[in-house]
């Protein structure tokens, strides 16, 4: 087992650690964070550059077109409040109808929205998948920045999961199709789009349902393209939603495809249970993940199932989905499967899965401790990376290099 270090709750000032059996000293300050700072977050373009980008994308992407501002005003009844259907990552979303009768969703960026968020959302123009929302066009007029999407008449998934009156509309068959549809959509983003795209904000609010209650992943304002499917990058600007953010991303800004895998795991548990994943301490996995692991271990998953489902579900499907979700929601990203693995497990006819999820650290150490240590540990070759966090707003990452015992 790896050694456990405990520190007072004041800000950490650790610089050196000595490990028994090692002859080297490790200077924490000399070791860089894993991944590199995402410099694209500093690249804020102006309106003219954004128009140029949209124009180039219009020429390159079939089905992506420019709308006139008068068309947008007519479609939304001059941005009438009665046409508002929700809020996206950077602005209000209106329902609109084009002259041909096509219903669309029109997202109007508010004046404080970062240009980067609009740029990220534009990546959708390059994507075409049944489980990813389609970006139809754009409009820039003065300071107005507007994007036009296909309209999803049943709104977002969260409207059903936490609503006692709408919840019964989602029987288990529909919930299972939502889980498998999301799996296929994320596999596409991670492997089969023109780049390795990590969404970074998967949650029920960003899953829209079409007329058949099938899911489409939406709101790509936080999405980032990676340099490879194994890439791990770092940002100082952590976005996303508490309860769905992976621990390494929430605490250190490190993100990869495994960041989406964690969020997907929590999302599946929410779909099964109808519960929220409340974060009770800084360890970061949430009470829903902990409860689900206990129920899975004790073979009491029926206690996890949303009461609104009654007895109308397949026990084998619930068991498989819950186990897959717990594998995805493990704290160490190296323990999590890829989304391709997830798809294979969900499509497998076998009832039992080859892997078992590890016990959440909070259940091992107790979640009442104010200080937590070793919240993320990954090991390869002869190095161990450890993140040490405390209840103070600071964390330190160290790398310990182990030499053979003399």
The pLDDT confidence band at residue 67, using thresholds 50, 70 and 90, is very high
User: Which one of 124, 150, 176 terminates a domain?
Assistant: 150
Whether residue 38 lies inside any domain: the answer is: no
Mark whether 211 and 93 lie in a shared domain: no
pLDDT of residue 129: 96
| Same domain as 52, residue 4 | no
Note whether 117 and 181 are same-domain residues: no
Facing residues of 138 across strands? 66, 147
Q: Is 136 exposed, middle or buried (0-12, 13-18, 19+ CB in 10 A)?
A: buried
Is the same domain home to 182 and 321?
yes
pLDDT surpasses 60 at 134: yes
For Cα atoms 40, 199, 322, give the angle at the middle one, nearest 5 degrees: 150
Mean of per-residue pLDDT scores for the chain = 80
Is the model's pLDDT at 352 over the cut of 90? no
- Residue 9 and residue 84 in one domain: no
Given this model, what pLDDT does residue 297 score?
94
What confidence category does residue 162 fall into, taking pLDDT thresholds of 50, 70 and 90? confident
Mark whether 136 and 259 lie in a shared domain. Answer: no
User: Quick one: pLDDT at residue 256?
Assistant: 96
Instruction: Check whether residue 261 and residue 346 sit in a common domain.
Output: yes
**What's the pLDDT score for residue 147?**
96
**The predicted structure's pLDDT at residue 45:** 59
Average pLDDT, integer, range 74-83: 96
Check residue 164 and give its pLDDT: 82
Compute the distance between CA of residue 69 and CA of residue 85 in angstroms, rounded to an integer. 20
Q: If pLDDT is split at 50, 70 and 90, which confidence band does 25 have? A: very low
Task: Determine contact, residues 284/245, Cβ cutoff 8 Å.
Answer: yes
Residue 35 lies in a domain: no
Task: Please report the pLDDT score of residue 111 as a whole number.
Answer: 81
At 61, which CATH number?
3.30.200.20
Give domain status of residue 39, yes or no: no
Evaluate if residue 251 carries a pLDDT over 80: yes
Told to judge if 201 belongs to the known catalytic residues of this protein, a careful annotator would answer yes
Residue partners of 125: CB distance under 8 A and separation at least 6: 57, 61, 64, 135
Tell me which of 130, 150, 170 is where a domain ends. 150
Which of 190-194, 209-213, 258-262, 349-353 shows the lowest mean pLDDT across its residues? 349-353
Residue 281 included in any domain: yes
Residue 117: per-residue pLDDT: 82
Asked whether the beta carbons of 92 and 106 are under 8 A apart, the reply is no
More confident residue, 3 or 335: 335
Tens digit of each residue's pLDDT (9 = 90 or more) over 261-285: 999 999 999 999 999 888 765 555 7
Classify residue 377 by burial, with Cβ atoms within 10 Å: 0-12, 13-18, 19+.
Answer: middle
User: Residue 378: its pLDDT value, please?
Assistant: 35
Q: What distance in Å separates the CA atoms of residue 366 and residue 368, rounded to the nearest whole number? A: 6
Least confident of 61-65, 279-283, 294-298, 314-318: 279-283
Same domain, residue pair 183 and 60: no
Q: Is residue 365's pLDDT more than 80?
A: no
Give me the percent of the chain exceeding a pLDDT of 90.
58
- Residue 226 confidence (pLDDT) above 90: yes
Q: How confident is the model at residue 43 (pLDDT cuts 50, 70, 90)?
A: low
Any domain includes 104: yes
pLDDT on residue 282: 54
**pLDDT in the model for residue 390:** 38
- The CATH number that applies at residue 328 is 1.10.510.10
Catalytic pick from 201, 219, 291, 306? 201
Same domain, 115 and 173: no
pLDDT value at position 406? 36
- Residue ranges making up the domain that contains 49: 44-150
pLDDT at 182 over 80: yes
- Per residue in 194-206, pLDDT (tens digit) is 789 999 999 999 9
Same domain, 97 and 179: no
pLDDT above 60 (res 100)? yes
Q: Quick one: which H or E segment has residue 91?
A: strand 91-97
Query: What are the residues whose beta carbons fall under 8 Å from the beta carbon of 393, sequence distance 6 or more?
Result: 11
Structural domain ending residue among the three candidates 123, 150, 177: 150
Mean pLDDT (whole number) for 293-322: 94
Structural domain count, the chain: 3
| Burial 189-222, CB ≥16 within 10 A → b, else e | bbeebeebbbbbbbbbbbbbbbeebbbbbbbbbb
In a domain? residue 375: yes
Do 190 and 334 have their domain in common? Answer: yes
Position with higher pLDDT, 90 vs 151: 151
In this prediction, residue 38 has a pLDDT band, given cuts at 50, 70 and 90, of very low
- 174 in a labelled binding site: no
User: What pLDDT, on the 0 to 100 scale, is given for residue 350?
Assistant: 79
Residues 207 and 292 in one domain: yes
What whole-number percentage of the chain has pLDDT above 70?
76
Structural domain contains residue 344: yes
pLDDT of residue 230: 86
In this structure, is residue 52 part of a structural domain? yes
């Amino acid at each position: 087992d790896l050694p456990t270090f405990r520190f007072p709750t004041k800000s950490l000032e650790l610089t050196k650690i000595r490990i028994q059996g090692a002859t080297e000293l490790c200077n924490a300050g000399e070791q860089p964070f894993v991944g590199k700072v995402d410099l694209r977050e500093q690249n804020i373009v102006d309106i003219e550059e954004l128009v140029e980008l949209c124009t180039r994308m219009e020429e390159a992407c079939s089905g992506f077109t420019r709308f006139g501002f008068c068309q947008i005003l007519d479609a939304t009844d001059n941005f009438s409040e009665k046409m508002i259907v929700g809020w996206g990552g950077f602005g209000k979303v209106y329902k609109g109808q084009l002259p041909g009768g096509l219903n669309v969703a029109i997202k109007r960026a508010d004046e404080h929205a970062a240009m980067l968020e609009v740029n990220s959302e534009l990546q959708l123009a390059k994507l075409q998948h049944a489980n990813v929302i389609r970006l139809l066009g754009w409009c820039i007029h003065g300071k107005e920045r507007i994007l036009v999407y296909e309209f999803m008449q049943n709104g977002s998934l969260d409207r059903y999961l936490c609503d006692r009156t709408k919840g019964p509309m989602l029987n288990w068959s529909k919930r299972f199709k939502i889980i498998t549809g999301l799996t296929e959509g994320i596999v596409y983003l991670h492997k089969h789009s023109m780049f390795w795209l990590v969404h970074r904000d998967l949650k029920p609010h960003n899953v829209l349902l079409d007329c058949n209650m099938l899911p489409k992943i939406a709101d790509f304002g936080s999405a980032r393209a990676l340099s490879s499917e194994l890439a791990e990058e770092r940002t100082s600007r952590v976005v996303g939603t508490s309860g769905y953010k992976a621990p390494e991303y929430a605490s250190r800004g490190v993100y990869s495809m495994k960041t989406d895998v964690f969020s997907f795991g929590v999302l599946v548990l929410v779909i099964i249970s109808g519960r929220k994943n409340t974060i009770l301490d800084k360890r970061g996995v949430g009470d829903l993940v902990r409860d689900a692991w206990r129920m899975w271990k004790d073979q009491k998953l029926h206690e996890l199932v949303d009461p609104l489902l009654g007895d109308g579900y397949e026990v084998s499907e619930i068991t498989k989905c819950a186990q897959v979700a717990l594998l995805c929601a493990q704290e160490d990203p190296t323990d999590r499967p890829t989304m391709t693995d997830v798809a294979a497990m969900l499509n497998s006819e076998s009832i039992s899965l080859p892997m078992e999820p590890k016990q959440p650290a909070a259940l091992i150490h107790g979640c009442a401790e104010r200080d937590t240590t070793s919240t993320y540990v990954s090991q390869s070759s002869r190095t161990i990376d450890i993140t040490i966090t405390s209840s103070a707003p600071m964390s330190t990452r160290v790398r310990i290099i182990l030499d053979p015992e003399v």
